[in-house]
Structure 1
Amino acid sequence: MASLHLIQAIFALLLGFGLLMVLSSSSVTAFRTGGSSFGVFANQATFALVGLVLFGATQYLPVRLMRSLSTAAVMFSILLLVAVLIPGVGKLVNGARSWIAIGGFQFQPSEVAKLALLLWMGHVLAARRSTLASPRSLLIPVLPVFILIAGLIMMQPDLGTTTALLIVFMACLFFAGAPWWMFATLAGLAVLGVTALALSATYRLARVLSFLNPDPTSASGWQLAQSLYGMGNGGIFGVGLGQSRAKWSYLPNADSDFIFAIVGEELGFIGAALLLLLFGLLAYTGLRIARRNVDPFVKIVASAGTVWLVGQAGINICYVVGLLPVTGIPLPMISAGGTSLIITMVVFGLLANFARSEPEAAAVLQANGGNRLARFLGVNPKPGAGAKRAAKRTAKAERRAAKSAKRAAAAKPAPARKPASPTRRTPDAVRAEPRSRGAAPRPTTGTQRPGAIPRQPDGRRGAAGARPARSTPSANPRRNPSSGGSPQW
């Protein structure tokens, strides 16, 4: 149960920490644009409630259902990515058509595509684990599907999400057991592809140049410079929660892409180090869950999902501190963003689900009998398997036996039965027995009833000198009409 408790604790700490930092970093911008300092925080809290429901449901989702729905999920995500490119359906935000608005709700299909690709690749690679040494079996059909999804995302355009999708793809191949030469070749091609995409647009090229030669006076270098100024201002212990100066319109995207800079300024080096420790603990726990399971699907999805979240956090923190060019990847569970938060919480739910299937955790859950929701979905043992359930059944049986004994004691006693008489043959039974003239006399019992007629040596009843018995049927004309003469006795 250690992995399950660890993943649930990490989830709770990151969620609470993220909501607190979203409230602090977005208060100024939310008040200026909406008249309330709690506008962005309220939206984030609403998405967090939805994510909590999905997190709880995903913990008890059967693995076989995940695998059966993975193909439909990836096809549905492709349809959403096509729909977002249609004018009037997709919403243009910051130069990228990455959102679909339905009423007052809007979501980002590319985030859904990452989760769908993770589950689908885990299903396909687990089903072909015996033939993964063949390049064709390993790359078909996962490579064409990945290229299709990545191409649709780049048409929005969104390089950051494409990079995160590439992390998911490479992690699935690596943990599925792809040969080193194949993995290295694909990784090299991926780096070349991302570099070409980064240099293909003017604003992306400006970000790369500002990373190589930071210029605080340029538009592309201003954001990085303000991020570094804010973190330097925080020092060891920070300036205090809610006391950041960079969020007062100095640092763009202070509540989303660059929220780690606000963490470093308000909570200092200690707060930033604690956040890094949480992500490091997430990496350890996720890989531990994958290692302690035997299902290949669980191994691939758990390990690749962990690398996805931790890798995305690492890229975000690196470009905030100036170690990588700015890509726009959010910090999981911390940055403001509804769709990203919900999908990340679902991934945590998957990890918690897989932690329940560890041998030690399964034994403990079996001993405790699980809970009603888990038993209803069929992912935990039946209630009779638990010691607690067995004790309850024993106590219930004892109470039932005590009630039965009480009712029996209060009931009217039944009348005593008359003792049965000694076994005696009826006359019909005696006549039915075969007899012959020279037969031995029937055995008599040692005792006779008082007043009974004594038996003669030939077995007949009566005293000596009594009337003789009837003749045999052959000598009796009444019994044998074929014989002549008058009746004789």
Structure 2
Amino acid sequence: MRLFEGISREAPEVAGPRIGLLLTTLALTLIGFVMVYSASSVEALSASTPATSYLYDQVKYGAIGAIAGFVMWKAVPFQLWCGPLFYAVWMGSSFLLVLVAVMGSSALGATRWLVLGPISLQPSEFAKFVLVIGVAKLLCDIREGQMEPKVALALFFTVVLLPLGFLYKTQSDLGTSMIIVVGAIATLWLGEVSKRAVGGLLGLAGAFGMLSMALTSYRSSRMLYLNPWNDGADGQGLGYQIIHSFYAFSQGGLFGVGLGNSREKFLYLPESETDFVFSIIGEELGLVGALIVIALFMALLHFSLQVARQAPDLFGTMVAGGLGIMIVFQAFLNMGCAMGVFPTTGKPLPFISSGGSSLISSLMMVGIILSVSRASGEGAAARRRDDLRIMRPVDEAPAPRGASGGRGRAARAAAPAPVRARGYSQGRAVARPQDASRARRR
């Protein structure tokens, strides 16, 4: 209960979104633990490892992410991201991206992981929120007159576009690049940039994504999601994974086949514990379970936007709202890929898919959003203290009398009501009971 100490004493409009965000994140993370264990147990046993090996790693990463998120919430005020802290974290993130290009580890046909002794991480997961915060910082600097637009434009190219282009080129990661772009555009929208500019950026991002898929053979092959059975191998080629994802959803029905009873996790559906964990949710928990997960992500978006609305300044609004929208966009991108609505991108389902970097990064982003909410609560408490008045003596001026000698109705309506505070009555001091008792003692 210590986690909620102090929250309950705040105004409901401030504490409510924070508690809701905490509970929603906790629910999604716990669902992730259960589903990672269920989806990965067969694969772990086939690799001659304990059935709980994936679960153990997920819980370990969840603990690390919870600590990191708690530090972001309690020890790092979000305003620090508008200063030297941002550039320090940006330099570290950019250095890790360069290390991936130089000495990264390849898996599943992509070089996106960095292995440093016993530590294996995916730096692009952490670059996501760093670049989105960078967009918010530069826009705030322009709005507050701390930076000339030309200088801000040069910094935007250096701080945001250059790492984003480097990430896309060296790691061939269109999915993460598009997630960052959506988060950045959402940040600009929350920063009150004109609708025409935001719409133009969305159009450019969509056109870039379509060209990237059309001009690259292995990306254009992902368009098979429209008809995976027509992959040239009767569904046994590039369409195999999405077909078995369809099988998982079709077997789940309304209430699912039961937790732990999935058939597709018996090595039929590749990456069932990571990219396609939502398919296992649909199979084991059915449509009802899938809708609960969708509702939780919608709730996370709602609470994040509530925190953004109550933020003490524009920077807090952009940070909380931009990060919340980016998390939920990635979630719906993953779920859409599993259901055959979007081409397969290989992006994990936040909080639920197996993977340490994704879980830690997602919990850190929630911690930053909570930091904005914390500042909102402190600001509300300060405003309430400023509005508090203990004693306010008011002398009541005599009202003009009417023709009949009594007070006129208009005069009574216009006369200010006397303020009765402790120790004062109609502007005249009165003795308080404790003062009388002190006089008797003397």
Output the CA distance in 1 between the equivalents of 2:113 and 2:44.
21
> Is 1:175 equivalent to 2:190 in the alignment?
yes
- Cα distance in 2 for partners of 1:122, 1:336 equals 30
Q: How does 1:64-83 map to 2 (within 5 A)?
A: 64-68=79-83, 69-83=85-99
SS at match of 1:237: coil
* Residue 355 in structure 1 maps to residue 373 in structure 2: yes
Q: Which residue in the other structure is 1:397 paired with?
A: none
In the TM superposition, what whole-angstrom CA distance separates every residue of 1:388-415 from its partner, at most 9, and x where no partner exists? xxxxxxxxxxxxxxxxxxxxxxxxxxxx
Q: How does 1:429-468 map to 2 (within 5 A)?
A: none
1:7 pairs with 8, 11, 21, which one?
21
- What are the Cα deviations for residues 85-114 of structure 1, in whole angstroms up to 9, with x where unaligned? 11xx21111121111111111101111111
Query: Aligned to 1:220, what secondary structure does the other structure show?
Result: coil
Q: TM-score, normalised by structure 1?
A: 0.71
Checking the alignment, whether the CA contact within 8 Å between 1:316 and 1:331 is kept in structure 2 is: yes
Alpha-carbon distance in structure 2 between the residues aligned to 1:182 and 1:358 = 29
Secondary structure (helix, strand or coil) at the match of 1:99 reads strand
Counterpart contact for 1:31–1:39, Cα < 8 Å: no
Match of 1:346 in 2: 364
The separation in 2 between residues aligned to 1:356 and 1:65, in whole angstroms, is 14
C-alpha separation in 1, matches of 2:377 and 2:66: 26
Find the counterpart in structure 1 of residue 164 from structure 2.
150
1:54-77 CA distances to partner (integer Å, 9 max, x unpaired)? 121111122232322112212221
Residue 217 (structure 2) aligned to one of 202, 207, 215: 202
Query: Which structure is larger by alpha-carbon Rg, 1 or 2?
Result: 1
- Give runs of aligned pairs for residues 148-297 of structure 1, distance below 5 A: 148-154=162-168, 155-208=170-223, 210-215=224-229, 217-297=235-315
Q: Distance in 2 between matches of 1:323 and 1:58?
A: 35
Is this contact kept in 2: 1:313–1:332, CA < 8 A?
yes
Q: Which residue of the partner structure matches residue 128 of structure 1?
A: 142
Q: Is the CA contact (8 Å cut-off) linking 2:134 and 2:160 kept in structure 1? A: no
Q: Please name the residue that 1:476 is paired with.
A: none
Q: Could you tell me how far apart the structure 2 residues matched to 1:212 and 1:233 are?
A: 21
- Deviation of 1:293 after TM superposition, in Å, equals 1.6
Question: Take 1:196 and 1:135, find their aligned partners in 2: how far apart are those partners?
Answer: 30
Q: 1:117 aligns with which of 124, 127, 131?
A: 131
C-alpha contact (below 8 Å) 2:331/2:349 kept by paired residues: yes
Q: For residues 264-284 of structure 1, give each alpha carbon's deviation from its aligned partner in whole angstroms, at most 9, with x where no partner exists.
A: 110111111111110111111
Q: Using the alignment, how far apart are the partners of 1:145 and 1:57 within structure 2?
A: 25
| 1:27 equivalent in structure 2 | 41
Distance 1:67 1:239, change over 3 A: same
Cα distance in 2 between the residues matched to 1:264 and 1:274: 11
Select between 73-82 and 326-335 the one with higher mean Cα deviation: 73-82
List per-residue Cα deviations over 1:277-307 (Å, max 9, x = no partner).
1011111110011011231111000010011
Output one character per residue of 1:136-192: Cα deviation in whole Å (capped at 9) or x when no partner. 577443245332122222222212111211112212222112222222222211111
The number of aligned residues is: 364
1:240-266 deviation line (CA, Å, top 9, x unaligned): 111100111111110001100000110
1:319 alignment partner, one of 337, 349, 354: 337
Inter-CA distance 273–315: structure 2 relative to 1 (3 Å threshold): same
Partner SS for 1:229: helix
Q: Is the 8 A contact 1:74 1:116 kept in 2?
A: yes
Amino acid at match of 1:71: Y
The question of whether the paired residues in 2 share the 8 Å contact of 1:129 and 1:176 is answered with no
Give me the whole-angstrom Cα distance separating, in 2, the residues matched to 1:308 and 1:136. 27
Aligned to 1:104: 118
Moved over 3 A (4+): 134-140, 359-362, 364-367
Work out whether residues 150 and 162 of structure 1, in 8 Å CA contact, stay in contact via their aligned partners in 2.
yes
What's the counterpart of residue 30 of structure 2? 16
What is the aligned-residue identity percentage?
33
Two-structure CA RMSD over aligned residues (Å): 2.3
**TM-score in terms of structure 2 length:** 0.78
Structure 2, unaligned runs of 5 or more: 1-14, 386-442
- String of CA shifts for 1:10-32, please: whole Å, max 9, x gaps: 11111111111111111111111
* Higher RCO structure, 1 or 2 (CA under 8 Å, sep 6+): 2
- Tell me the distance in 1 between the aligned counterparts of 2:153 and 2:382: 39
- Alignment partner, residue 451 of structure 1: none
Q: 1:178 to 1:13 in 2, by over 3 A?
A: same
Q: CA deviation at 1:202?
A: 2.2
Contact 1:7–1:351 under 8 Å retained in 2: no
For residues 365 and 78 of structure 1, the distance between their equivalents in structure 2, rounded to whole angstroms, comes to 40
Corresponding position of 2:66? 52
Contact 1:138–1:178 (CA<8 Å) still a contact in 2?
Answer: no
User: Per-residue CA shift, 1:423-451, capped at 9, x if unaligned?
Assistant: xxxxxxxxxxxxxxxxxxxxxxxxxxxxx
Equivalents in 1 of 2:214, 2:27: separation in Å? 38
State the distance in 1 between where 2:381 and 2:100 align.
46
CA distance in 2, matches of 1:313, 1:112: 16
Unaligned runs of at least 5 residues, structure 1: 368-489
Aligned match of 1:390: none
Q: In the alignment, which residue of structure 2 is the partner of 1:329? A: 347
Code of the residue aligned with 2:192 in structure 1: it is: G
The 2-side partners of 1:99 and 1:266 are apart by: 31
